[in-house]
Structure 1
């Protein structure tokens, strides 16, 4: 399989840029081959005492002119080739991020954040180097080596050239041997960096938990271990690279030793002139760089290849949920939700999360879901959002199978408030208007007032322009929950899903929010997931889940009267409120 398959689009669009860059690079390399020849002519003229001042001025002018052309055109090929590699880095990083955004939620349950960050940084950087300096060095190594050897054979002496270049095959063998080891070591370096990044990200995200459990020293030690492993893997790579590089230089130096001895003999025997000897030495000096570049090229290309393979693993991953040929062309639908004998098991799980669920929720009605932790409440919300696939015909929205609905239509109709109340590192205003950046400020204020967070916001020095920390860490749990609810309300969807989103607010604030929400949800289809009976008691229908099954259903009065699970929770919470009131 073509390992460059995911970058073909970029290369097709930039092939002339690369080709022109390589052409200019070859022109510069060609100019470099002229100077040694000139030095040979000057030396022979000096030896024969035939060099005039006019010729000296001419040679000086010519060498300076060549140097100027080399400088100008070197800048041009750098802008073309290195510039293209930078654009490749930009393009590939956007492609990777866009692909990750489209992958299903289940993918991120099996991938660490640090590993994905390493792909977006180190791996893409390695690809950039391969298609930037890697191409430059490879071109130099091939063109300069072949051209220089041919010129040395023609203009000086074939036998002399062959003898002087005896170490070259050993350089190639050495580089090939070390190259395979470098690729394997670099993969281990990338994995160690991924682990280090993940450890740092996890520690920063969980800093409050770490401090509350006084585990700073433990986390410091864990990070130090990951950092030490990263250092060790890098040092292992450096040792290999460090051994290869001096070995290549040593072999190149042997060519100079051979040249000095054998070339000196040829000059003394007058087989070649002193100028030819100087020319030969100069060309050999030009060869040293390509010989050294071979090792660099192998290292860069091996790293780039390893990184391309790692990136391909991600880019080859197909989303589990996507619009396909069976997707209907819908512009709108009714906000009715139907579960028809639905059972669902999470990928790689053995026990069903939901079993035999039958629910019909008419437009404008409110369904409340209550049950123990792990009973399947959030799973119902995830399936309505189609974060996971369900069997055909088991879940309908507006009478249409959810599997055939366009993603944009489905999710644009739903305002979802999750349990974790994730907020972004931007202003409060931007968080509330997340679904629509052009939302009028009056609508943002209105949403904040409905959720009783307006006064809290106005107490901040920057008010709605207050910049939040990562995940909204600068806010209290209750404030985060209320801003999350305001974000869903500001979206103005036809369906509202509240997933245990009032657990961090006090009872008095909860009553005020629920009163305001009753007005907001009166014409909307709503699902409220909660543990508090006070949150769900006014719903049109309440279902009680236990181990993924509906064990009770009805309105509040009915469920209290049958003396089941719901009734026991209700009386227990009444007693808790009474005790709290007496205190």
Structure 2
């Protein structure tokens, strides 16, 4: 049950002063909280003896007020220390979790649902932090405070009465043992179900337009209801197990009261204890109620925290698919030329190679065009430059240095990558373009906007550059998203610009304008363009045609047209299509 505390030992060691102060103050306040019952018992005995004068009663009341005030301020301080530690733990774990996600490669996210990761980063974090706050409190109250109470009852009242009254307590230990493992397993399943529900919501919100377009609201609502009902059932299973504990505690407490009152009356009758001591003893029995309930809370919190820590740790212990080089080469200064030497590649779990013995050289200042049928390996070829996936056969080198010896940060810092799926953040147009270029000037921003042919659209946006685009650019058209993504890459002035089918949503005229602008803007710099439109690469210094991961044609536009292969056929077909559109 306490395994989660052992797993969090690194944090308690780091915050040793904070938790030491909290424990010491809790110990002090536990002793202080015993005093009011003693004073009341003393007042009862003094009254019974006829010795309760006004001055004595006033002194007892004054002392009681001082004790209450002292208890308040001590409690205020230990609560700050203890629960402050819980917030620090949650912040540290959440930051560590996010850093880990940022470090992960695409294979990690391909195997995991976004909703589940979201649940681990929110609900599970909260459950873990509870163990470092309320969990420690229940542990101390159920062990330390209960121990102090029992010691006071033995030393200050009567050991026989105490032993008789607490005789039913082992029943609680038995219940804890039985219910603890049940809570752990059921809470783990409940959290998994919550992750699935999160994922369902994310998919529904992201695909709302498609859902409405196909009139699938009812079906999606039904799927959501099923997921929500599953979460409800899972948490109800946890609640049912937890609900067994309170009746047991009530029964034990009631039994202890009966024993305490009955046996206490016997001892008073035989003058072995005073009436005031019995009053104090029964007040202490009342104070035992919370520590007994704290045992149930302790089981609940520790089992939930343990289950959540296992889920979070399951994510944090996943290693990167592409490991960092043992002796990384950094600070190249330049990264060209780029050479592919007999590169073959297959995605993890895929049958067959997506790239087959590809060799090519990209020199500084060149534009490389990559074309081919859907699924021919165009995007896969350029993604190898980003070190996204392991399992590369052959070699890719930057300025003569193997990609295996270069850290990912070194490579990606030299590349401006515009992917097929254009991710925009729920910020303004300006913030999206300057996402990776905080130090860019207004002139550089305007240059990037002009080069991406987005300037003409600004006039139609209500707030211009400060217009909020909504989540993932929901308020923009596909072409506008693409051009903002291109501007975002251009403003960083990358050594190598990669446009991965990034002109598919713009018309031929806009495409031609963007290509011409990039040629002018990036004269003497290197660009790679993958596309289905041959017109986007006609100007390229080198064009390769991929088929089933192999280079089947290579040359300039003129050379490939002269060869009369697949490329030439596509150029003719697309030219005819454009003519028909113009007619």
2:94 aligned with 1:72? no
Q: Does 1:32 align with 2:33?
A: yes
Q: Distance in 1 between matches of 2:555 and 2:232?
A: 62
Partner of 1:239: 240
Mapping 1:79-118, distance limit 5 Å: 79-118=80-119
- For residues 79-107 of structure 1, what are the alpha-carbon distances to aligned partners after superposition, in whole Å with 9 as ceiling and x for unaligned? 00001111111111111101111111210
Distance 2:433 2:478 in 1: 16
Q: What are the within-5 Å matches in structure 2 for residues 554-569 of structure 1?
A: 554-569=555-570
Would the aligned equivalents of 1:415 and 1:489 in 2 still touch at CA under 8 Å?
yes
The residue that corresponds to 1:578 in the other structure is: 579
Deviation, structure 1 residue 561: 2.2
The alpha-carbon distance between structure 1 residues 234 and 485, as it changes in their structure 2 partners (threshold 3 A), is same
Q: Is the 8 A contact 1:43 1:275 kept in 2?
A: yes
1:443-522, aligned counterparts within 5 Å? 443-522=444-523
Q: Does 2:205 align with 1:185?
A: no
Q: Give the 5 Å matches for 1:284-303.
A: 284-303=285-304
Q: Counterpart of 1:255 in 2: which secondary structure?
A: helix
Q: Does 1:43 align with 2:44?
A: yes
The correspondence of residues 199-238 of structure 1 with structure 2, limited to 5 A, is 199-238=200-239
Deviation of 1:392 after TM superposition, in Å, equals 7.1
Residue 289 of structure 1, CA deviation: 1.1
Tell me, what secondary structure is at the counterpart of 1:271? Answer: coil
CA distance in 1, matches of 2:7, 2:336: 40
**Given that residues 40 and 275 in structure 1 are in contact (C-alpha distance below 8 angstroms), is that contact kept between their aligned partners in structure 2?**
yes
Give the match for residue 257 of structure 2: 256
Shift of 1:155: 2.2
Could you tell me which residue of structure 1 aligns to residue 163 of structure 2?
162
> C-alpha distance in 2, partners of 1:410/1:144?
58
SS at match of 1:452: coil
- The equivalent of 1:396 in structure 2 is 397
Structure 2 CA distance for aligned equivalents of residues 275 and 252 of structure 1: 21
Question: Matches of 1:334 and 1:193 in 2, distance apart?
Answer: 46
Structure 1 residues 229, 8: closer, same or farther in 2, change over 3 A? same
Give 2:327's aligned residue.
Answer: 326
Q: CA deviation at 1:541?
A: 1.2
TM-score (norm 2): 0.97
Instruction: Summarize the alignment of residues 426-445 of structure 1 with structure 2, pairs less than 5 Å apart.
Output: 426-445=427-446
> Aligned residue pairs: how many?
581
Shift of 1:6: 7.4
Residue pair 2:15, 2:85 contacting (<8 A) in 1 also: yes
1:276-309 deviation line (CA, Å, top 9, x unaligned): 1111111111111101111101110111111111
Question: What per-residue deviation string (whole Å, max 9, x for no partner) do you get for residues 255-279 of structure 1?
Answer: 0011122212222232221111111
Match of 2:271 in 1: 270
Instruction: Tell me the SS of whatever aligns to 1:360.
Output: strand
Deviations 1:358-395 (A, max 9, x none): 11111111111111111100001110111123547610
Distance 1:107 1:284 in 2: 54
Contact 2:337 2:363 (C-alpha < 8 Å) held by counterparts:
yes
1:237 shift after superposition: 0.9
C-alpha contact 1:495 1:525 (8 A) present in aligned 2: yes
CA offsets, 1:475-508, max 9 Å, x none? Answer: 1001111111111110101111111111111111
Question: Helix, strand or coil for the counterpart of 1:542?
Answer: strand
- Report the counterpart of residue 125 of structure 2 in structure 1: 124
Q: Is the 8 A contact 1:383 1:389 kept in 2?
A: no
Instruction: Give 1:338 shift.
Output: 0.7
- Aligned pairs for 1:301-380 (under 5 A) are 301-380=302-381
- Per-residue deviation, residues 133-167 of structure 1 (Å, max 9, x unmatched): 11011111111221221221222222221111111
Q: Show the counterpart of 2:414.
A: 413
User: 1:49: Cα distance to partner?
Assistant: 1.0
Q: Distance in 1 between matches of 2:6 and 2:426?
A: 35
Question: Residue 463 of structure 1: CA displacement?
Answer: 0.8
Distance 1:235 1:424, change over 3 A: same
3-state SS of paired residue (1:187): helix
Deviation sequence 1:428-453 (CA, Å, 0-9, x none):
11111111112111111111011111
CA deviations over 1:305-355 (Å, ceiling 9, x no partner): 111111111111111224332211334124211110010011121211100
Is contact 2:169–2:252 with CA below 8 Å preserved after alignment?
A: yes
Q: CA deviation at 1:406?
A: 2.9
Stretch moving more, 329-338 or 239-248: 329-338
Task: For structure 2, list consecutive stretches of 5 or more residues without a partner in the other structure.
Answer: none
Task: Give the superposition deviation at 1:404.
Answer: 0.9
Judge conservation of contact 1:93–1:120 (CA < 8 Å) in 2.
yes
**Per-residue deviation, 1:176:** 2.0
User: How far apart are the structure 2 equivalents of 1:13 and 1:476?
Assistant: 50
Deviation, 1:4, is 6.5
When structure 1 is superposed on structure 2, of 80-89 and 316-325 the one drifting more is 316-325
* RMSD, matched Cα: 1.5
In structure 2, do the counterparts of structure 1 residues 139 and 126 end up closer, same or farther at CA, with 3 Å as the change threshold? same
**Which deviates more from structure 2 when the two are superposed, residues 114-123 or residues 146-155?**
146-155
Measure, in 1, the Cα distance between the counterparts of 2:335 and 2:221.
54
Structure 1 Cα separation of the partners of residues 9 and 466 of structure 2: 44
Aligned residue for 2:122, secondary structure, equals helix
Q: Tell me if the contact between 1:183 and 1:302 (Cα under 8 Å) persists in the aligned partners.
A: yes
Is the 2:325–2:406 Cα contact (8 Å) retained in structure 1?
A: no
Deviation at 1:225, TM superposition (A): 0.5
Counterparts of 2:8 and 2:519, CA distance in 1 = 52
- 2:344, 2:393 within 8 Å by CA — same for their partners in 1? no
